């Protein structure tokens, strides 16, 4: 049985109702339920119409045990106390990941997000120093840049924590990997 068929039946939808929700033709829905893998726009439209992650429709949904979920939450939250000191918001989650051997794609994405945010912090500090030195721009609003950066980083960590609990995935994600 195809994933689409199982999800559609679980939600008590007919093929015609799924067509009305997604805009994907009934014939295409029939082909996918017969075994064709949905891709691109079709995959996105069906996932949105059924309110499921795209990976669930094509069978790539990673099963996460309760033990892995515990470590996933800890790795995500371990960056939060160290967002003021960017190297530690990378090192601490990375250490937990290696010590507890938690190498799932989601765990790697959490560390990647912190690496990217630390790079952004370094660039912001550099830009502020250049503006201060070269152009003599001084003002209290320049002090807001790091504060806003810290608040956005905290928001990302907390938002991803909520999504991990709810859907076992990340809400705010980057599409490339540095590790």
Instruction: List the pLDDT tens digit at each of the 179 positions of the chain.
Output: 578 888 889 899 999 999 999 999 999 999 998 888 888 899 999 999 999 888 888 765 456 788 889 999 999 999 999 888 878 999 999 999 999 998 888 888 899 999 998 888 888 888 888 877 787 766 677 778 778 888 999 999 999 999 888 888 888 888 777 77
- 61-90 residue pLDDT tens: 456 788 889 999 999 999 999 888 878 999
**Which residue, chain included where needed, has tokens 């560390």?**
111
Burial class (CB in 10 A: 0-12, 13-18, 19+), 157: buried
Dist. CA 152–CA 146, nearest whole Å: 10
Domain 3-57, what fold?
434 Repressor (Amino-terminal Domain) (1.10.260)
What token pair was written down for 31? 């082909």
List the chain domain ranges. 3-57, 66-167
Q: What is the CA radius of gyration of the chain?
A: 21
Residue by residue, DSSP assigns 138-154 as --GGGGHHHHHHHHHHH
Rounded Cα–Cα distance for residues 145 and 96 (Å): 30
How far is residue 15 from each of residues 33, 42, 178, measured CA to CA in Å? Answer: 10, 14, 41
Q: Is the dihedral of CA 98, 103, 106, 108 positive or negative?
A: positive
- CB contact at 8 A, 114 and 79: yes
Report the SS3 class of residue 18. helix
For tokens 């599409």, the residue is 175
Show the tokens assigned to 106. Answer: 């989601």
């Amino acid at each position: 049985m195809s994933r689409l068929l199982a999800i559609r039946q679980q939600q008590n939808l007919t093929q015609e109702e799924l067509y009305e929700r997604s805009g994907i033709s009934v014939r295409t829905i029939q082909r996918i339920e017969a075994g064709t893998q949905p891709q691109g726009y079709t995959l996105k439209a069906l996932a949105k119409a059924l309110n499921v992650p795209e990976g669930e429709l094509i069978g790539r949904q990673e099963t996460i045990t309760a033990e892995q979920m515990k470590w996933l939450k800890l790795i995500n939250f371990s960056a939060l106390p160290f967002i003021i000191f960017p190297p530690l918001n990378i090192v601490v989650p990375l250490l937990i990941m290696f010590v507890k051997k938690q190498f799932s794609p989601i765990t790697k994405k959490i560390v990647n997000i912190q690496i990217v945010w630390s790079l952004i912090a370094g660039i912001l500090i550099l830009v502020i120093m250049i503006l201060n030195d070269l152009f003599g721009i001084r003002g209290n609003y320049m002090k807001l840049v790091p504060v806003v950066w810290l608040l956005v980083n905290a928001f990302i960590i907390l938002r991803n924590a909520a999504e991990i609990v709810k859907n076992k995935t990340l809400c705010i994600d980057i599409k490339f990997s540095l590790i």
